[in-house]
Chain A
Amino acid sequence: MFQKIALAIAFSPRMEALMCETKRFARLFNAEVIFIHIGERIEEEEIELNRIFEKNGFDLSKITVIWEDGNPSKKIISICKRENVDLLVTGALKKETFFKYHFSSIARKMMRRSDVSLMVLIDPKINPKPFHNIVINGTDDPKTAEIIKKGIALANLEKAKLVHILNEIQLLGLRMSMAGEDIASKVEDTRRRLIQDEVEKIENILSEIDKEDLKINIKIVSGKPGYEISRFTERAKADLLVLRAPNHKLSLFDRFFPHDLEFILNDLPTNLLILQAN
């Protein structure tokens, strides 16, 4: 699924846990790992880093650490592109202050602008556990089938207990109020059909995917998709939300007139896997 994984490291209290999580992903996907540190290369930091690597059973001879200076988010993304990384792992706070959210959070900048798939962990652990309860965003999009396919592949690898696939009915309020000009039974028919159509779309996609023994729950929501996905993920107590990366790099404009992803970034409901579609 992923051949080369990168971890963006900073000397924070969560660095060690993030390393352990990355090690687990490397084993899970049988992938190569590189570590990226943006900032001056200081000998003490290098020694500390090696100490943590050794402590957590990394083979120092096989580890690549890239030390470079520059704008952290831009530099990390450009290194990932240069090194053909296909999954970047990073930590992020569940919620940021207003200023950090809009202007200075490196993790959020990467989520908005990355060309590489991102695994965002809000609570990394020294002893990481597989994801058991996964939500996949299946809202209408030409790339939805690919995202669902990758999400299911990951769920199979993780031997997840439950997978939810969310689809949405766009403009339900407007459509139902127009349908409301009909008799009651027709209105109910319309409502049922609207839901059934969306369920069928997901079922059609699933019919072409190897689901092994996964338990899959298809859920239809209405409203602002990003907000509803976020709320559902919290309600379902999911430990991973899989969604598609935005079509374009998000700007300040997308925060004032929120893009779906911004509803999620505003208060991360759980860990995220933001996938780039081919």
Chain B
Amino acid sequence: MEGLTHSDITNIFIQISLMLLAARVFAELARKLKQPAVIGEITVGIILGPSLFGLLFPDAFASIFPSSGGSSIVLDGLVQISVVLLLFIAGLEVELNVVWNQGRKALMIAFFSVFVPLLIGFVVAISFPSILGLSSDLPFVYALFFGLSISITGLAVLARILMDLEMFKTNNGLLMIAAAMIIDVLAWIIFSIILSIKGDSPEGMGVVLTIGLTLGFTFLMLTVGKTIINRVLPWINQKMAWPGGLLSISLSLCFLAGAFTEYIGIHATFGAFVIGVALGDSEHMTEKAKEILHQFINNIFAPLFFISIGIKINFIAEFNLTIVAIVVLLGFTTKVVGSYIGSKFSGINTNNSLIIGFGLNSRGSVDIVLALIALESGLISEEIFIGLVIMALLSSIASGSIMKMIYKRTQSIIAK
């Protein structure tokens, strides 16, 4: 049986050590600049990857991050695990009771925030596939994904911005959080259906069956699954070591659900996300446990994933200004306008609707995972992927500042 060589193992540890260290340094720099850590982590990935380090020191890059061999496979595996865990905590963040409490307004905002960019993105992509470099064999599916990719909100980034602006517990803050939660759920269900249509399911499992299994799995997990979780968690909390027992069982369930959705031809992340929602919504999943899971995944696995993007993709060689400009402009305008329209229809005034529009334009977490899966599934080209990453970075940086500006203006008007 073939195993890892001594040099493979050494290399793996060097890779992980270098990635974690670099991620920490750049996350700290981002923090100093009052930006989310993810911005530093993606940036350092680009620096460490073929775009810069590989360009200047090709031999050193090839020896630390070889494109084939044992260490490359292990790193790929580790990144896959990181992606699944990242989506698991994205699911944990969704709190259905917060969504219900915000009610119709949150639903309305989420609907327009997703469907305006989705629709416009779809129309643009299907009308100009060659400009966007989309494949022509399944134009409907590719165009649909393009629309979806610009319609997502980064819940974690939004939460951070709202906390910095001390808006988290305001009516608008909770409304945005609830809308972002709905957007997450909607986006992943739509994405899993896109993957089903694209047809990566095992032989003999048709599109209809895959979609049926996907929706059935989601429904079962959020009803029966949640009931079982509610029965089992108190027992785990009482009888097992805490938080060890809870963490082991939660992660075990996360990987099991991931294995199931991977088997039926949708990415493992979908299963992890749905089980995250079911677990996170349980009253027995304490906030402390969520915090521990967040810290553990956000500080170890998330950096590995975000850095790996820059290491895989050459952001300079594959950079296409036209595509980046279209993606960024389309992403920004449709998302802000869609969320703004939703807010106005919900009866929210113009300034607050603008704040919500820019708030929901924050990206930089789940959307990048989704884009990477799409890239790996052949749904998008590297050029579009780069456009989506740049859009995520720019919108994360811009949203906070623009929201702050409008918020201050609103406050000064109220004060007068």
Contact = CB atoms under 8 A, between A and B. Distances in A.
A179 to B, nearest CB: 7
Nearest to A140: B169
Interface string A212-232: 000000000011101110000
A257 B291 contact: no
Interface string B286-297: 111111001100
A95 to B, nearest CB: 15
B162 to A, nearest CB: 9
A254 B295 CA distance: 32
B97 A174 contact: no
B37 interface: yes
B283 interface: yes
B93 interface: yes
A257 B96 contact: yes
Contacts of B168: 171, 175
A182 B92 CA distance: 21
Interface string B128-155: 0000000000000000000000000000
Nearest to B286: A223
A174 B159 contact: yes
Given A177-B291, A177-B298, A171 B27 contact: no
B174 A181 contact: no
Contact of B294 (A180, A228, A258, A259): A180
A122 B290 CA distance: 34
Nearest to A179: B163
Given A177-B295, A178-B163, A260 B97 contact: yes
B31 A227 contact: no
B97 A258 contact: yes
A227 B283 contact: yes
Contacts of B235: none
A173 B283 contact: no
A17 interface: no
Contact of A222 (B92, B287, B295): B287
Given A177-B298, A180-B295, A170 B169 contact: yes
A173 B159 contact: no
A268 to B, nearest CB: 16
Contacts of A99: none
B97 A224 contact: yes
Interface string A139-151: 0100000000000
B156 A178 contact: yes
Interface string B104-125: 0000000000000000000000
Contact of B27 (A181, A197, A227): A181
Nearest to A193: B166
Given A177-B298, A181-B27, A223 B283 contact: yes
Interface of B, secondary structure class, is helix
Nearest to B37: A181
A206 interface: no
B100 interface: yes
Interface residues of B, number: 32
A182 B27 CA distance: 10
A176 interface: yes
A173 B290 contact: yes
Contacts of A181: 27, 31, 36-37, 160
Interface string B204-247: 00000000000000000001000000000000000000000000
A190 B166 CA distance: 11
Given A259-B100, A263-B283, A174 B290 contact: yes
Contacts of B287: 171-173, 176, 222-223
Nearest to A263: B283
Contacts of A263: 283
A257 B289 CA distance: 21
A197 B170 CA distance: 13
A233 B5 CA distance: 60
A223 B97 CA distance: 11
Contacts of A177: 156, 290-291, 294-295, 298
Interface in B282-316: 283, 286-291, 294-295, 298-299
A103 interface: no
Nearest to A191: B291
Interface string B62-86: 0000000000000000000000000
Contact of A171 (B31, B36, B100, B177): B177
B95 A171 contact: yes
Nearest to A176: B291
Contacts of B100: 254, 257, 259
Nearest to A228: B283
B186 interface: no
A176 B93 CA distance: 12
A11 interface: no
Contacts of B251: none
Contact of A170 (B27, B156, B174, B281): B174
Q: 8 closest A-B pairs (Cβ-Cβ)?
A: A173-B290, A177-B294, A227-B283, A173-B287, A224-B283, A172-B287, A222-B287, A178-B160
Given A176-B294, A177-B295, A223-B283, 11 more contacts: A171-B98, A173-B92, A173-B287, A173-B290, A174-B159, A178-B159, A180-B294, A180-B298, A181-B37, A226-B283, A227-B283
Interface of A: 140, 170-182, 190, 197, 222-224, 226-228, 254, 256-260, 263
19 contacts: A140-B169, A171-B168, A171-B177, A171-B287, A172-B291, A173-B92, A173-B288, A173-B289, A173-B294, A174-B290, A176-B294, A177-B156, A179-B163, A180-B294, A181-B36, A223-B286, A227-B283, A228-B283, A260-B97
